[in-house]
Amino acid sequence: MPLSVTRRGAVALLGLGSASLLAACSQSSTSTSGSSSSASETSSSQTSSASANASTEATRQKYDAGSKNYKGVVPLVDHYENKTYEPGNEEHPPRNAPKPLKPENMNEDSLEGAYATLRYHASVFDYITKTGDLEPLKEMEAAKPDIEYMQSFETFYQNMESSKTWFFDRKFEMDILADPIVSSSKITWRCTETFLNGTKAIIRGEYHDDLPEKYQWTRLTGYVTTEYVNGRWAVTPYVSGGGTGGH
């Protein structure tokens, strides 16, 4: 199983143990304190509820978007390595695509930090579509790795390379469809992710200059979650609500 699942399982077990311990203490207090215990439990419950409400309100304020609208196409990052990109042609795949550089604020524990991470995420995928180089994605995944997720990408690009297949100028686009949903340290974004393949490609060694429209793009609609883990935002594997190609 992916390492991220293992970590979630460990957290769940820890939570279960804590709940069991609290339950045992509560039962012991009830059997020895009688009616006074009942009053104490009521007070404790009210205190816990107030604390939870205060925590929820603090989280809401910290990640409040205010008047800012995050909906629409996510812009790619502003800065890249100093390289001159060459689109693909009949002789070679795209080459010299510069790696995106991280925005300065992407590790901020704020809504802007989460959005900056999405910008970098989109830029990394745009870079991958041109190069097949997964190193930037692996580095992002290091905050909350999913091995199976990474292996699926590696297999896809290995198959493209071995079959002598490439698109001349493939691109990636992410479009946020709704306001972000905040829950604890997680922010969920409903969005589309589109791989734009263009019209020209080498498919199994053969040149195609007018790809049918259904092969020109692939779009997924679903959710991406950013979660603040170990001092930075981890982007969970895409949870798809369906996919389309062409119209």
Give pLDDT tens digits for 52-95. Answer: 454 556 666 678 777 789 999 999 999 999 999 999 999 999 99
- What is the mean predicted confidence (pLDDT) over 12-18? 26
Q: What is the pLDDT of residue 24?
A: 32
The closest alpha carbon to 106, from 139, 132, 129, belongs to: 139
Lowest mean pLDDT: which of 47-51, 120-124, 172-176, 215-219? 47-51
d(CA 172, CA 137): 14
Q: How many CA atoms lie within 13 A of 4 on its CB side?
A: 16
Q: What is the pLDDT of residue 39?
A: 55
Q: What is the pLDDT of residue 185?
A: 81
- Please, where are the H alpha helices in the chain? 3-33, 35-62, 111-131, 135-141, 147-162
- Whether residue 12 has pLDDT greater than 50: no
d(CA 30, CA 22): 12
Handedness of CA 77, 82, 88, 92 (dihedral sign): negative
For the chain, the residue count is 247
- Whether residue 19 has pLDDT greater than 90: no
Tell me the percentage of the chain whose pLDDT exceeds 90.
51
Q: What is the pLDDT of residue 43?
A: 58
pLDDT in tens, 119-154: 999 999 999 999 999 899 888 876 676 777 778 878
Round to the nearest angstrom and report the end-to-end CA distance of the chain: 36
| Residues 69, 176 contacting (CB under 8 angstroms) | no
The closest alpha carbon to 137, from 150, 118, 152, belongs to: 150
Residue type, 11: V
Largest CA distance in the chain: 85
Residue scoring higher pLDDT (16 or 89): 89
Q: Phi/psi class of residue 135: alpha, beta or left (left: φ > 0; alpha: ψ in -120 to 50)?
A: alpha
pLDDT bin (cut points 50, 70, 90) of residue 156 is: confident
| Residues 166, 150 contacting (CB under 8 angstroms) | no
Q: What is the pLDDT of residue 189?
A: 95
pLDDT bin (cut points 50, 70, 90) of residue 2 is: very low
Q: How many CA atoms lie within 13 A of 200 on its CB side?
A: 11
